[in-house]
Amino acid sequence: MSAGKPARPAGIGLYGGTFDPIHTAHLRLARALRDELALDSVRLIPSGVPPHRPPPHASADHRLAMARLAVAGEPGLDVDARELTPGASGYTVDTLAALRREVGPTLPLWWLIGADQLAGLERWHRWQDLLTLANLAVAARPGFGSLPLPPAVDALWQSRQATDFANFPAAGRIRALTLSPVDVSATAIRADLAAGGDGLGALPPAVLGYIRRHRLYRIESI
């Protein structure tokens, strides 16, 4: 091994979401994932029409463009458009399986979700296969830390906690991020934009400029 090279593969972070629009809490989470786990990169993966949620308000092209603007110049943050390509199933388990095939069996993958998504994990397609493909990083979210998890998700949460932070396996472990929760949601931002606001001051300037140029999230569209 050459001098200065890490003894273990650092891994790749994966962060899926509707990003409708992408906001500063999303970016803060992506940076925390990159920095707390010393990852080579974090890929933001905008979802198509999510199977388990209402359709997004902005088109896939707009959400993708905003995500790209938001990460421009951010070291280690990239946008991966695979879920927006025709024929993509939209299921995270399929995305993770494709990524696992691409990176091989040993590179740690870290899939990031907010605590609200953890609470509903049982509703995800083939949810028990997710941890065979990746590790899971969970970010605290206001209103969700104190609620009991459904029993099956709680059992997973208890049994898969990462303990050896120096030797992460390729998949199968769960780790909570330590960053403090922040009470920002795309829903509240869209409502503020529709009322003529600036998105609660929670949008990167380039994203706010894009929204204004393209007249997104106006009252008639939310």
CB of 52 to ligand ATP, least distance (A): 11
Task: Give the residue with the Cβ less far from ligand ATP, 168 or 217.
Answer: 217
Task: Give the residue with the Cβ less far from ligand ATP, 25 or 133.
Answer: 25
The footprint of ligand ATP (CB under 6 A) covers 17-20, 25-26, 29, 113-114, 116-117, 139, 141, 181-182, 184-187
Q: How far is residue 67's CA from residue 78's CA, in Å, rounded to a whole number?
A: 9
Task: Give the residue with the Cβ less far from ligand ATP, 9 or 124.
Answer: 124
Task: Give the residue with the Cβ less far from ligand ATP, 9 or 188.
Answer: 188
CB 48 within 8 A of CB 83: yes
Q: How many angstroms separate the first and last alpha carbons of the chain?
A: 54
CA 49 to chain centre: 15
CA-to-CA dists, residue 31 to 74, 89, 97, 111, 124, angstroms: 9, 27, 24, 13, 25
Q: How far is residue 203's CA from residue 211's CA, in Å, rounded to a whole number?
A: 10
Of all residues in the shown chain, the one whose CB is closest to ligand ATP is 114
CB of 150 to ligand ATP, least distance (A): 16
CB of 118 to ligand ATP, least distance (A): 8
Task: Give the residue with the Cβ less far from ligand ATP, 140 or 171.
Answer: 140
Pair of tokens at residue 197: 């606001």
